[in-house]
Amino acid sequence: MPPPGVCMSIMQERHKEDGVGSLANAGKHRNQDFLQLKQYCLDRRVRYIDDVFPPDHNSIGDGLLSPDDMRRVVWLRPAKIAQNPDFIINGFSRFDFGQGNIVANCWFLASVGALTFQEHILEQVVPLEQSFKDDYCGIFHFRFWRFGRWVDVVIDDMLPTVDGRLIFVHSKTPNEFWPALMEKAYAKVCGSYADMNAGTPSEAMMDFTGGVHITFKLAENPPNLWDLLFRAAKFKSLMGCGTPQGETSANTVAPNGLVRGHAYTVTGVLQIMSQGKPVNLIRLFNPWGYGEWKGDWSDKSSMWKTVSPADRKMYLSVEEDGEFWMTMENFCQHFSDVTICCLCPDFLDGNSKGHWTPSFHDGRWVAGTTAGGCILFRDSFWTNPQYRVKIEGFDRDFSETQGDNNMLVSLMQKPDKRNRRLVKSVHIGINIFEVPAQFKGQRGKFPASFFDNNAPVAQTKDFLNARTVMLLCRLKPGEYLIVPSSFKPNETASFILSILSKAETHIHENSNDQDMEETPKLTPTDNREDMSNKQTLFREYSDQFEEVDAEQLQRSLDEKLLQGCAKKTQGFSLESCRSMVALMDTSITGRLNSDEFLRLWRKVTMYKDIFFRSDVDRSGMLSSSQLRNAIMASGIRLSDSLLNLIALRYGGSSGNISLESFISLVLRMDRMAKIFRELNNGGAISLRDNEWMYITMYA
């Protein structure tokens, strides 16, 4: 049984600090170790069968095949499909494969086509030591960058066929199998082959590189688009594009030869002389492996007669291979968008001297706590995650010679479902604010008043229902606040915020200034009369040994503390009272003596007062946004991530917190912080397993 999610989250963060998830030390997808599994098969002389992504209908997924066709599917190893199977034959090429006609994953294969131009990147995704010869046992692996970390994906080589033929991607050389195996590995990380249905090249390109991508809408046609594409090709970027959707979702072929609603690879950017004049050309590749543009500069166009014989020989191919040239003007007219994906966005200004420094931050919007919606929602926008950025200065060459952008901010949604098709994405966007002098000493989240009086200095134009949005801008030295958000409030989703800067930049999450010890706390004080009343209360509920157990504490809280509450309460549960006793019990007897009981009563009465002061709408419950203020009023500063956990743990299905739950959770936070301060050495705790269990089982 895997550990609880909070434990796994801490483990992943620690692994990240240790370099796990980097390209050099990829994480193990679904906890499968390729080398161990392969050695197991070699030792036992068996062929590997993946029980996580087995050769059955579940791995194909729903909606691709009819029940009758599904029954015809036979999973075969390559040796049963072709004679002398090989992993790679004569290197990688976009012409190695053709798309199957069942799953609409042209976006994936167009990205693979772009990847074949950058073999140094492709070899990171496709380990080359694999073959069907030495030590073959039916197991292969591939590496993909998935939402902030590289993962090694293990598969068996059982492939779905009908009548002995592959039903998904196929190689034009029948015995070459790297495309089909790579497609299977990517289907595994998506959830199934059906989960690869429909997508954008930017998604797969990001998963192949772990880099950054920028998508340009061709209807807007940026004035320097040609220069950007030319430089992107020079800097070895991956590029893909798409055509507008037709009248239906089907990939119908237009009279000009282009497929509607289809992804293509940009394979060349060329300026050529035609009759003494320069012409800007774009070369494109159809991942079907056939079907080409029929207009000017197509394979059989007479325009090629206007160039020199040397250029015609070098650039023109008249084979029916799915690749063709067209002018930049026709490209912008017939395609809807173009995506550039690269490890480093030097192509933006053509300046490779300046260094783009990346910073990555995991975050989460949680309904009621940190999902504040866009800036139109003034009352809640401030609750969104906030990132403080300090720009010290610019690289000298860059600042003196360039007037271009120096900051690229990318916001990527992370899925909360294993199957790609089940992921519910939200409309997302980014706002950047300059921090004025009076707020530079601010600790913790900036309040709503800040956003009432400060307008964004940069923001995404639209909120998009996309996996990733980006904001490219130029910021002068100073301090800024970056606020990623969904469009609507109370939309729960996880994200990765990537910040690339050409300036010296320092970044931290603005809500992570968690410091329970230094924050001024409210200290309950008793006058003589109050002390006498509490002692009387203790004697009323204590036993003959002058002690109070959990059941007696429960009665005292229900009958005295909740007395006069305007709203009906459920009362304190016996389990929560046992927890309170354990937290305050210094003698480990399971009971509270007079001093312990009085200390507890001071705290719970103080927390009760804070609760009702924070319950501004007099509902008898705290909303998640009110909860933040109430906890801070109790003397505890907490991060967004901890607030989210508290809301999930104590808020129930409604997300609202009752008085009883509030008192229990704040007391637990207060006492656990006390335990940490007593046991920590240099800011960290080191416990033996029996010590850990000793604390956790009686708290």
Q: What does each C-alpha distance from 92 to 110, 239, 316, 551 come to in angstroms? A: 14, 17, 21, 73
pLDDT, tens only, 642-673: 888 887 777 766 678 888 888 888 888 888 88
Contact between residue 432 and residue 473 where contact means Cβ atoms under 8 Å apart = yes
CATH number for the segment(s) 353-509: 2.60.120.380
pLDDT, tens only, 281-297: 999 999 888 889 999 99
pLDDT at 398 over 80: no
For domain 528-696, say whether CATH 2.30.30.30 is its number.
Answer: no
* More confident position, 155 or 618: 155
CA distance 105 to 421: 13
Q: How far is C-alpha 89 from the chain's CA centre? A: 36
Query: What are the structural domain ranges in the chain?
Result: 13-209, 240-342, 353-509, 528-696
pLDDT at 526 over 90: no
Vertex 92, ends 86 and 98: CA angle to 5°? 80
Residue 645 pLDDT: 81
DSSP single-letter state for residue 195: G
Residue 415's pLDDT band, with cuts at 50, 70 and 90, is confident
Going by C-alpha positions, the residue among 135, 152, 132 that lies closest to residue 143 is 152
CA distance 6 to 154: 26
Locate 286 and state its tokens. 């159809």
pLDDT at 269 over 90: yes
Q: Name which of 125-129, 349-353, 631-635 the model is least confident about.
A: 349-353
Q: Name which of 24-38, 96-110, 120-134 the model is least confident about.
A: 96-110
Mode of pairing for the β-strands spanning 387-394 and 478-486: antiparallel
Residue 481 pLDDT: 94
Mode of pairing for the β-strands spanning 27-28 and 149-156: parallel
Question: Can you spell out the DSSP letters for 616-633?
Answer: TT--SSB-HHHHHHHHHH
Residue 681 pLDDT: 74
For domain 240-342, say whether CATH 3.90.1150.10 is its number.
Answer: no
Can you tell me the mean pLDDT for 567-587?
Answer: 83
CA distance 369 to 292: 52
Burial of 222 per CB tally in 10 Å (0-12, 13-18, 19+): exposed
Vertex 493, ends 491 and 496: CA angle to 5°? 135
Residue 551's pLDDT band, with cuts at 50, 70 and 90, is very high
pLDDT, tens only, 70-103: 999 999 999 999 999 999 888 887 877 777 767 6
Residue 51 pLDDT: 94
* More confident position, 630 or 483: 483
Contact between residue 264 and residue 375 where contact means Cβ atoms under 8 Å apart = no
Can you tell me the mean pLDDT for 497-505?
Answer: 84
Residues 6+ positions from 153 with CB-CB distance below 8 Å = 29, 141, 142, 143, 144, 185, 186, 188, 189
pLDDT at 561 over 80: yes
CA distance 666 to 610: 11
Can you tell me the mean pLDDT for 94-115?
Answer: 80
Residue 457 pLDDT: 94
Can you tell me the mean pLDDT for 461-474?
Answer: 88
pTM: 0.79
Residue 514 pLDDT: 45
pLDDT, tens only, 293-336: 999 999 999 999 999 999 999 998 888 888 999 999 999 999 99
* More confident position, 594 or 698: 594
Residue 35 pLDDT: 95
Residue 15 pLDDT: 64
Average pLDDT of the residues of the chain: 85
Locate 378 and state its tokens. 């003034």
Contact between residue 411 and residue 468 where contact means Cβ atoms under 8 Å apart = yes
Computed from CA positions of residues 317, 318, 324, 328, in that sequence, does the dihedral angle turn out positive or negative? positive
Going by C-alpha positions, the residue among 413, 487, 529 that lies closest to residue 146 is 413
pLDDT at 401 over 50: no
Residues 6+ positions from 61 with CB-CB distance below 8 Å = 191, 192, 193, 194, 195, 419, 421
Residue 224's pLDDT band, with cuts at 50, 70 and 90, is confident
Mode of pairing for the β-strands spanning 74-76 and 27-28: unpaired
CA distance 597 to 595: 5
Residue 502 pLDDT: 82
pLDDT at 34 over 90: yes
Locate 417 and state its tokens. 């479902």
CA distance 169 to 102: 9
pLDDT, tens only, 343-365: 878 777 666 555 788 888 888 89
pLDDT at 277 over 90: yes
pLDDT, tens only, 505-522: 888 887 754 444 444 455
Contact between residue 150 and residue 26 where contact means Cβ atoms under 8 Å apart = yes
Percent of the chain with pLDDT over 90: 34
pLDDT at 56 over 90: yes
Neighbours of 249 (CB within 10 A): 11
Residue 515 pLDDT: 44
Contact between residue 512 and residue 397 where contact means Cβ atoms under 8 Å apart = no
Amino acid 604 reads V
Which are the catalytic amino acids?
Answer: 106, 262, 286
Q: Name which of 67-81, 180-194, 381-395, 523-537 the model is least confident about.
A: 523-537
Percent of the chain with pLDDT over 70: 89
Residue 107 pLDDT: 86
CA distance 655 to 661: 12
Contact between residue 160 and residue 80 where contact means Cβ atoms under 8 Å apart = no
Can you tell me the mean pLDDT for 192-217?
Answer: 88
For residue 540, report the phi and psi dihedrals to the nearest 5 degrees: -65, -35
Task: Give the position of tokens 């999930």.
Answer: 648
CA distance 159 to 168: 9
